[in-house]
Structures are given as C-alpha cells and as structure tokens.
Amino acid sequence: MTTAQGSIPKEKLTWMYETMVLIRRFEEQAKREADQGRILGTHSAIGEEAVPTGICAHLGDGDYVLGNHRSHHHCIAKGVGVNEMMAELLGKATGTNGGKGGTMHIADATKGMLGANGVVGSNIPVATGCALAAKVQGRDNVSVVFFGDGASSQGSLHESMNLASIWDLPVLFVCENNRYAESTPFEYSVAGGSVANRAAGYAMPGVTVDGQDVMEMYEVAGEAVARARRGEGPTLIEAQTYRYFGHYGADNPLGYRTEEEEAYYKSRDCILTMGKFLLESGTMNQDQLDSIDADAIAKVEAASKFAMESPYPDPSEILTDVYVKYP
Amino acid sequence: MEGNRPLTFVQATNEAIRTVMRDDPNVIVMGEDVAGAAGRADQGFIDHAGGTFGMTKNLIQEFGPERILDTPISETGFMGAGVGAAAAGLRPVVDLMFVGFVGVCADQIFNNMAKMHYMFGGKVKLPITVMAQTGAGDGGYAAQHSETLWSIFTHFPGLKCVVPSDPYTAKGLQIAAMRDDDPVIIFQGIRSMGANYGDQHVPEDDYEIEIGKARVVREGTDVTLTGIGFSTRTCLQAAETLAQKGYSAEVVDLLSLSPLDEETILESVKKTRKIVITDEDYPRCSVASDISALAVEQAFDYLDAPPRRVSAPHASVPYSPALEKFHPPRAEDVVAAALAVLE
Amino acid sequence: MTTTEVRALTYAQAVNETFHQEFERDPNVILMGEDVAGGAGRDDFEDAWGGVFKLTRGLIGKFGPERVRDTPISENGFIGAAVGSAAAGLRPIADLMFVGFVGVCGDQIFNNMAKMHYMFGGKVKLPLTVITSTGAGVGSAAQHSETLYSIFVHFPGLKCVAPSNPYNAKGLHAAAIRDDDPVIVFNHKLLMGGVGTGPHVPQESYEVEIGKAHIAREGTDVTLIGISYTTHLCLQAAEMLAQQGYSAEVVDLLSLSPLDEETILESVKKTRKVVIVDEDYPRCSMASELSAVIAEQAFDYLDAPPRRVNPPHTSVPYSPVLEALFIPTPERIVEEALATME
C-alpha cells in the first residue's frame, strides 16, 4: 500500500471494502448452492474481488461494464442486485434475465451492465461499440470490458484495441490475469510474457497493476477513466490477480498449480489486506469491519431466500424475447 | 450388440483416437485443454483435463506433447493451423469444444476447410477431423454452450458430418473420420456421455463405421422415426410407448448427415408410408427440413401423410431448468407427432 | 402509370436514397464498414468508393465521419462494435461486404447479435442492420460468390430480408433500419446496376413490411417461388411457360425470417404445384425449409411434390463455363415446372 491511498475519500474506501466483502460472501453462497445441487457450478471469482471494485468506484449507471464467463464480481461491483442475481443463478422468473441467461449471461441494462458472455473474447468488440455510441452521442460515458489472460490470445482483442485506438474511443480494456486459462498457464500461452506490453502496438497506454490491491486498482482506474472521459482514448490495464478455486466448480486446480502458489496469493488476499489498512489507518475499527461482514452475510442469505421462494418462469417463456417483434 | 466389454461414449471415443494414433504417426490432436496444465510436466502436472469431457485423456502420456497439443484460446489460430497442417501432410484432430464456438473460427472451417480441395482443383487434401460437442437438456449451460448447429456444417459442400449415437458408433465413427481423407466434423452429444447415458459393449478391435450409412436400430411397419445422435435414443423411447399403444415404429439412426444415406431413409419411408423426423437443432433450415424435403420429393406417392418435424423451438436455449428441459425434443413430443400421422 | 411517370432508379441508387433519408431522419443512425466511404483520413480522397457497390455514396459528405465510419479490416471488431453501439442507443448499419466473410465475425452475429435480447430477458434491444452482398455470376470464385441465407435464417433472433428490385430494396432497407431487432439484408450483386424500365421508386421515404412476400406475377397452373435474383429467373421462366400455354404464379419471397407462410400457402393451395428456386447450396437450404413447410401445411392440396432448384452440392467454381452450371437458370426452372405439371 502506497501513501497515495491517503487521498482516497473515506466514502470510497468504505464502499470498496463493503463491495469486496459482498462479492466474497455472494460467491461463497453461490458455491454452497452449487455444492447442494441447486445450480450448476459457477466460475467462481473468489480472490479477484478487487479488480472490478477499484474500477467501478469511478463509474455511474450510464457507464458500461461488459464481462465474461466469470463475471459475478463485475456485476455486483456495478450495482446489480444480489437478490436478482441469485434468482437468476437458480433460473427463477425474478432473476436479472428472467431465468433465460443464467450465471454466464447476467445483465442489467439499468445499471449499465450489458452482459456477461460465455465465449472468450466475444464481448470485447461489443464493449468497444458501447464506447462508440457514447462518443457519437456526445456523452462522456466510458465502457469497461473485463477479459482474462486466456482471452488475450483472441483476435477479437487485437481488432478492438486497434479500432478503439484509431477512433479514440473511451474504453478500458481490463485483463484480469489470474494466470490460468482453464488449466493452461499464462507463461505457456502469452508470447512476450506481458499483456500490458501489447498496448504499445496499438498506441495506447498499457498499465500493469497489482489486482489484489484495491487501492492501486482505484488509482490506475481513475486515471484511465479520466483519460477516456476527456476524449483521449482507450487504456489497457493488466490486473494481476488470482482465482482461489478452479476454472469452474468441478475443476481441481491442484492438477495444474501448486499449493505453495495458492498459499502465496491467499496471503495477499485483497479483503484481508484492505481490512488491515483500514484498521491501521484508523479509518475503521474492528466492530465496523465485523458489522460490514455481518451485513453482507445477511444480504446474501436474504438473496438466497428470495431466490428459493421465487417462482420458476412459465414454460411459455421459452418462446418470449426471441425478438422485440416478429413478424 | 452382445459382449461384456462395456465402455462409455467418452471411453469409446478415447479408445478410437488412441487406436488410430498408434497406427499412424501423422495424427496429432490440438485444442484447449486436450491435455491440460500445458508446459508444466517438469513440475509434475500433466494431463489435467484430457479434454472438457475426458475424450482425450491419457493420450499425452503415450504420445507426448509434440502430438497432443494444448492451445491458447485462439480458435481461428488453431483451427486454421489444423487446416494448414492437414494440407502439408499431417492428419490433425482438432477439438472445437462446444459447437457454439464455431463463430470464432467459422472462416477457417467454411472458407478454407470446406473449399480448399475444390478451389485448388483437387490438388490439396485436407484429412482433418474436428470434434464438436453439442446439445441442451439439463446442463444449464445456457444459450452459447448448448447448441447443436449441425445443419450449418451440413450446408457447406466439402465438409462431411457425422453424429454417433452411442459408444459403439462413437468408436467406429471416430476411427472412420480420422481415416477419411476429407474434412469430417464429428458431433458429440453431451447427453450421450457419462453415467447418465450408460455404457455399452464396444469391441476391442480396430473397426470403422462407414460414413454415409444410416442404420435401422428398430424395425417396424407403421411409421418411420429418424433420430440423430442422442435423439435416436429419444426415438427408441417413443417407439416403446407407441408399441404399447399398438403401433410398430421403425427407428432409423442417421449417423451420417453429409453424406446422407438417402437410400435407407427412403426405403423405410416407402415401407411405413409415414415419417417423423427428430432433430435437436433449431427448426429453420434444419436437417429435419432437409429430410422432409427429400422424403416428399422422392417418395411423394408413398406418403399417407406429410413428414412431421420434431425440432427445438425457434428460440435460443434458455438457462432456467424449468425452461431448458422443453428445448430439445422429448420422447412425448415424438409420440405426439407419430400419433398425429398414424391417426 | 405511363413510362414517362416511372421514376426508375438503379437498385444501388434506390438503396442510397433510403440511406440518405434515414440518416436525415434519425441522428442515431450511423454506418460502419470497409470502404463505405473510402479514402479514410485523406480529405482530398474522401468518399473514394462509397461502398463496393456504391450503396453508401455521398453519405460522408453530408453527414460526416463521426456517423459514416470507414473501418480497418476487422469484421469481428466492427460487427461486434455495431452490436455494442446498438445496445447502447444507436441504430447502426454495418456493411459485411461479401456474405462469405461471415466466417470472420460469425461469433458476433450468431452468439451476440442473435442471442443478447433473449439471454438478457428482453432487457436489451439491438436495433441494428447488417447489409451484405450475395450471389455468383461475376467470376469471383468460391469465397466471394456465396448466398448463405439459410445460415442466418437458422438462428433464432435474426431477421433476414432479400430485396429483388429497386422499389423493394429502398423500402426494405428503411424497414430494416427502423426495426428494433437485428436485420440482415442480402443484396444480390447482379441486381445493383441497370435501370431498364423501372419499377417506379417513389421519392418519398417508405417501408416495405418485413414478413410479407409479394406476388410478382399472378398465375394458376404452378407456383414459382423466388428469392432476390432468382425471382427474376422465375419471371423469365414464367414467360417461357406462358409461351407453352402454362400460367405460372411467381412469389417473390422478400422476407426469409419471418417467412410469409400465408402468401406462400395461399398460392400453393391455388396452383397445387410448386417449384422453389434458391441460389444457396442445397443441403439444409431455404428451399428445403420451404418444401417442408409447404408439405406440412398444404400436403392435401399438392398434386405433385415441391421441386427444389438449387445449385449442385459444390462450392462456386471459377471458370465461367462451370459457374454457369452452378447458378439456377430459367431453363432449369421451366424443366422442373413442366415435370410437376405432367
């Protein structure tokens, strides 16, 4: 933690801590639901909470976030309701998507969350388009797209970075480098060993940041968002982070990484570290931290209850919303 | 088939790949996590995945990382590389994983793989096999991971398309595909794999199922039910129900969509004079439509009633379990369609 | 209407006119694609092309480079950007130059464009239009001469239209742009130029309703169904049949998804015979789909099975001698029609 964090307003610090804790508790609950067979295993974001939190702290409902298959934390950081999210995971009619999309496709247009997407790299051009709309309509909104280290090998990223750069589009290309694409390690897949360095080829800044440090994320994101809002174009951010669990529910990651490595990243846990900072800086006391956690747990339990008690969609819904109007 | 060597669909496919690879050093396998934990053999991590569904398990230990290649997430890159490697003398097997991913490498498949042999006047051969996993029903994988899409591939001249329906045909078609000198897409139904589907006796020897041949899996006289992949089992279940109602249904397992075994289909239709076509794919311009058009064109005078298509609805696959189960055709849907033509 | 009153534009001119009118009408309409203007970034070469077939000529001069954007060769990038900008409030038109290029942006079209509205529970709208060119006959060989309607029609969530003349081209493009769903417009390359005697293209803005077929010629003995360019082949075939004493009805499909089943079935129930002419590859084609729908819904009316006229199950060959064998011809249509009537 650098001393620059002293300049982050307390409300932001509080919001960021609360958000990370909420994400953590939600993901733990989702995992429990999966273990109990109520939902198919999800792609858990536990460990990566700081990345979207530090970024969404600078965003409003008119700004866009687009995610990937591992997107629950993106959604929560962007303000999507946990009740509706849990209901969507359970496939209920009250879910964010009416049960039609599920864990990999959560969307809430009222919050600017224009969707999680299950095809790696597929949302990157889409996010670029949202930025284009903002620019053409003269709005100072920005578009943030999250993708993984695996996606950095997709053509869609390169096409989009190039396009955003030549057109000065307000995009943040955020690579959540959690070091593995399913079971394929980063050092095997990524020529040159750095995603951020690829930015230079597309004439935009490329920043490498400790994705487990929410305050560093906040600083880096702040600069990128400000640049974009000023019309100065896109930024590529490589946030180095770690997922504590496997690629998805049934994947045992010890089949491709060591316990020592896991222990190392867990020792740098974004919530623990932030909590420590808040205590040591006198921003909060232990009671307050505990209260935030209790609050998060209560919210998540309420979400589960809400989801459980909600009805399933009527079978006729299978045919709705294929089109806006047909014929 | 009698015998006491039960294998699952996944095991049968795995055995097929191993058999051909032992036979021919030019066969390689490429795809995301076809082994897993790439590059970490020296740390004791190897073959973590063996493919999303385990179809390529235990191959890297036998054939090494030169022939079992984990790829980055670059479908256009590695599908195209498969095409090039095939043109230059190898016989690659490329795992596309979920068929809905075709969009990110469609150019390589539809413009290169399908056309190069023709455009280059027959001078270049592409003996490549693409594996693609398909289907919805109860997985909760949602719209992008639950598609079927075989009609899209069937549409393109130059591609062969096969769909195994059980462990026995999985082994035989996988071997045939890998030995075929044309590009072959093999569609592997997710619901056909694993414990839910069960196992079946699979011979130990090296055998092929001829591409372009359907098989009659249940003989009957009153109505023809055609099935593709997993839906062949659905048709067999429907046939049982129909038998209880006093009707004798013939079930034809298509196995090969391109080339299509028109002869077997038409022979059956001319006998029963009624046909119900089951297809998990979206309905418009589907294989079901194609077979209907064929039956009407070539067996018009034999038909007592129009062909009936039992397809998925014209909608993407929804996530909610309450909805998803209605997406693929169910046995009761096939029965209802059959009764409509029988009565 | 006398010939002097016919306002005969070429297909390209009619489409261009509607683009100008739509751009004027709605500031949210934008255009993206390769060389949709041309000479990008060079003031003295602005609008060098106006699109491969000149459909988008003059737009950049009037509406500027913010709204008329030449793109790099990045289909995945800009088709995806069209999806995203539609989700975020614009009405983009994206030009996928040749339909055979769908392979390099298939994911954006089939996974995002077709599915987002559904997957997101109806909460996100994608009011975008993709224009693309189709067809063989100019020696462009296998990758630049495809038709591929059935691929797009197969995916729930996409609407697909195929104009056949300047009048319906102008109206369908307007309808597509105003539609709140993603619409793919297939423009056959052989239809772009040539004026002849019209049809009359009104000056004012108008829509041709998506989901409606058009009876291009009335008749009683056999129904010929055409799509885009093949409608003209059907009309030629109808003339030839008339000389042999047969009265053929020609249905111009215009809308592939949604399909105007009512008009098609009404015609088939009248004539009791049908020949479907589709320039796309035969397997799992629109022709197969139409045959299946007709058989399912009008079986008892049919005197003979529906006949399909498609190219052979091959890619498009280059040599003109071979390419001529690929494309359906009026002679083949007549042959099939006679076969159903005898």
At residue A89, the pLDDT reads: 93
Q: Which residues of A touch B145 (CB under 8 A)?
A: 104, 118
Q: Band the pLDDT of A2: cuts 50, 70, 90.
A: very low
Give the phi and the psi of residue B234 in degrees, each rounded to 5.
Answer: -60, -45
Query: Considering only residues 27 to 56 of chain B, which have any Cβ-Cβ distance to chain A shorter than 8 Å?
Result: 32-33, 36-40, 43, 45, 48-49
Q: Are A233 and A168 in contact (CB under 8 A)?
A: yes
Cβ–Cβ contact C74 with A under 8 A? yes
| CA distance from start to end of chain B | 34
Q: What is the pLDDT of residues A43-92, one digit of tens each?
A: 999 999 999 999 999 999 999 999 999 999 999 999 999 999 999 999 89
Q: Which residues of A touch B327 (CB under 8 A)?
A: 318
B184 pairs with which residues across the strands?
A: B129, B160
Q: Which of A114, B103, B315, B327 is nearest to C157 (CA)?
A: B315
Q: What is the pLDDT of residues A231-276, one digit of tens each?
A: 999 999 999 999 999 888 878 888 888 999 999 999 999 999 999 9
Q: What is the three-state SS of A84-108? A: HHHHHHCCCCCCCCCCCCCHHHCCE
Q: Which residues of B touch C293 (CB under 8 A)?
A: 289
Q: Count contacts between B and C (CB, < 8 Å).
A: 166
* Alpha carbons A104 and A45: distance in angstroms, whole number: 12
Q: Inter-chain contact A130–C120, Cβ cutoff 8 Å?
A: no
* Alpha carbons B304 and B301: distance in angstroms, whole number: 8
Q: Are B155 and C151 in contact (CB under 8 A)?
A: yes
> Which among A127, A160, A325 has CB closest to C180?
A325
Q: Inter-chain contact C288–B300, Cβ cutoff 8 Å?
A: no
Q: Inter-chain contact A181–B73, Cβ cutoff 8 Å?
A: yes
Q: Partners for B (CB, 8 Å, 3+ pairs)?
A: A, C
The tens place of each residue's pLDDT in chain C, 342 residues long, gives: 455 578 989 999 999 999 999 999 999 999 999 989 888 877 778 888 888 899 999 999 999 999 999 998 899 999 999 999 999 999 999 999 999 999 999 999 999 999 999 999 999 999 999 999 999 998 888 888 999 999 999 999 999 999 999 999 999 999 999 999 999 999 999 999 866 666 899 999 999 999 999 999 999 999 999 999 999 999 999 999 999 999 999 999 999 999 999 999 999 999 999 999 999 999 999 999 999 999 999 999 999 999 999 999 999 988 888 899 999 999 999 999 999 998
* Alpha carbons A236 and A172: distance in angstroms, whole number: 6
* Alpha carbons B235 and A270: distance in angstroms, whole number: 54
Q: Inter-chain contact A124–C125, Cβ cutoff 8 Å?
A: no
List domains and CATH numbers for chain C: 3-191 (3.40.50.970), 214-341 (3.40.50.920)
> Which among A155, A187, A313 has CB closest to B76?
A155
Q: What is the CA radius of gyration of chain C?
A: 20
The mean predicted confidence, pLDDT, of chain A is 93
Q: Which residues of A touch C119 (CB under 8 A)?
A: 97, 100-101, 105, 107, 115
* Alpha carbons A172 and A205: distance in angstroms, whole number: 10
What does the DSSP assignment read for C69-84?
EE--S-HHHHHHHHHH
Q: Are B272 and B220 in contact (CB under 8 A)?
A: yes
CA angle at C311 for the pair C305 and C315, rounded to the nearest 5°: 145
> Which among B48, B319, B327 has CB closest to A101?
B319
Q: Inter-chain contact B321–A257, Cβ cutoff 8 Å?
A: no
Q: Which of B12, B32, B189 is nearest to B95 (CA)?
A: B32
Q: Inter-chain contact B156–C106, Cβ cutoff 8 Å?
A: no
Q: Band the pLDDT of A1: cuts 50, 70, 90.
A: very low
Cβ–Cβ contact B104 with A under 8 A? yes
At residue A3, the pLDDT reads: 40
Q: Does the predicted TM-score (pTM) go above 0.95?
A: no
* Alpha carbons B99 and B145: distance in angstroms, whole number: 7
Q: Which of A61, A110, A64, A46 is nearest to A84 (CA)?
A: A110
Kindly state which CATH superfamily the domain A3-319 is placed in: Thiamin diphosphate (ThDP)-binding fold, Pyr/PP domains (3.40.50.970)
Q: Are B89 and B25 in contact (CB under 8 A)?
A: no
* Alpha carbons C126 and C117: distance in angstroms, whole number: 7
Give the minimum alpha-carbon distance from A317 to chain B in angstroms, rounded to a whole number. Answer: 7
Cβ–Cβ contact C262 with A under 8 A? no
Q: Count contacts between A and C (CB, < 8 Å).
A: 166
* Alpha carbons C256 and C113: distance in angstroms, whole number: 17
**Which chain B residue shows the shortest CA-CA distance from C149?**
B285
Q: Are B128 and B78 in contact (CB under 8 A)?
A: no
Distance from the Cα of residue C122 to its chain's centroid: 27
Residue B210 falls in the annotated catalytic set: no
Q: Partners for C (CB, 8 Å, 3+ pairs)?
A: A, B
Q: Which of B166, B176, B180, B211 is nearest to B113 (CA)?
A: B180
* Alpha carbons B312 and C154: distance in angstroms, whole number: 11
The mean predicted confidence, pLDDT, of chain B is 95
Q: Inter-chain contact C121–A163, Cβ cutoff 8 Å?
A: no
Q: Which residues of C touch B309 (CB under 8 A)?
A: 292, 296
What tokens were used for A154? 């997709």
Query: Considering only residues 56 to 75 of chain B, which have any Cβ-Cβ distance to chain A shorter than 8 Å?
Result: 70-74
State yes or no: pLDDT of A25 exceeds 60. Answer: yes
Q: Which residues of C touch A134 (CB under 8 A)?
A: 88
**Which chain B residue shows the shortest CA-CA distance from C286?**
B285
Q: Which residue in B75, B147, B250, B324 is the catalytic one?
A: B75
Q: Band the pLDDT of B30: cuts 50, 70, 90.
A: very high
* Alpha carbons B328 and B136: distance in angstroms, whole number: 6
CB neighbourhood size of A295 (10 A): 14
Q: Are C315 and C262 in contact (CB under 8 A)?
A: no
At residue A52, the pLDDT reads: 98
Cβ–Cβ contact C150 with A under 8 A? no
Give the minimum alpha-carbon distance from C80 to chain B in angstroms, rounded to a whole number. Answer: 12
Provide the strand spans (E) within C104-206.
129-134, 159-161, 183-188
**Which chain C residue shows the shortest CA-CA distance from B314?**
C156
Could you say which DSSP state residue B101 is in? G
| CA distance from start to end of chain C | 38
- On the 0-12 / 13-18 / 19+ scale of CB atoms within 10 A, B262 is middle
State yes or no: pLDDT of A100 exceeds 70. Answer: yes
Q: Which residue in B15, B32, B117, B145 is the catalytic one?
A: B145
For residue A89, what are the CA distances in angstroms to A32, A53, A73, A250? 12, 21, 14, 17
Per-residue pLDDT averaged across B233-262, rounded?
98
Q: Which of B279, B176, B118, B314 is nearest to C281 (CA)?
A: B118
List domains and CATH numbers for chain B: 7-201 (3.40.50.970), 215-342 (3.40.50.920)
Q: Which residues of C touch B102 (CB under 8 A)?
A: 106, 110
Give the minimum alpha-carbon distance from A35 to chain B in angstroms, rounded to a whole number. Answer: 15
Strands across the sheet containing C183-188: C68-70, C29-33, C91-98, C129-134, C183-188, C159-161, C255-257
At residue C139, the pLDDT reads: 86
State yes or no: pLDDT of B146 exceeds 60. Answer: yes
Q: Which residues of A touch B103 (CB under 8 A)?
A: 119, 122
Q: Which of B45-59, B159-173, B208-222, C1-15 has the lowest mean pLDDT?
A: C1-15
Q: Inter-chain contact B140–A102, Cβ cutoff 8 Å?
A: yes
Q: Inter-chain contact C305–B300, Cβ cutoff 8 Å?
A: yes
Q: Are A105 and A91 in contact (CB under 8 A)?
A: no
Q: What is the pLDDT of residues A106-151, one digit of tens each?
A: 999 999 999 998 888 999 999 999 999 999 889 999 999 999 999 9
Specify the 3-state DSSP secondary structure of B158. Answer: coil
Q: Partners for A (CB, 8 Å, 3+ pairs)?
A: B, C
> Which among A129, A166, A321 has CB closest to C118?
A321
Query: What element of type H or E holds B271?
Result: helix B262-272
Give the minimum alpha-carbon distance from A270 to chain B in angstroms, rounded to a whole number. Answer: 26
Distance from the Cα of residue B150 to its chain's centroid: 8
Q: Inter-chain contact B72–A319, Cβ cutoff 8 Å?
A: no
The listed range with the strongest mean pLDDT (A184-198, A273-287, B68-82) is: A273-287
Query: Considering only residues 122 to 141 of chain C, which have any Cβ-Cβ distance to chain A shorter than 8 Å?
Result: 122-125
Query: What element of type H or E holds B269?
Result: helix B262-272
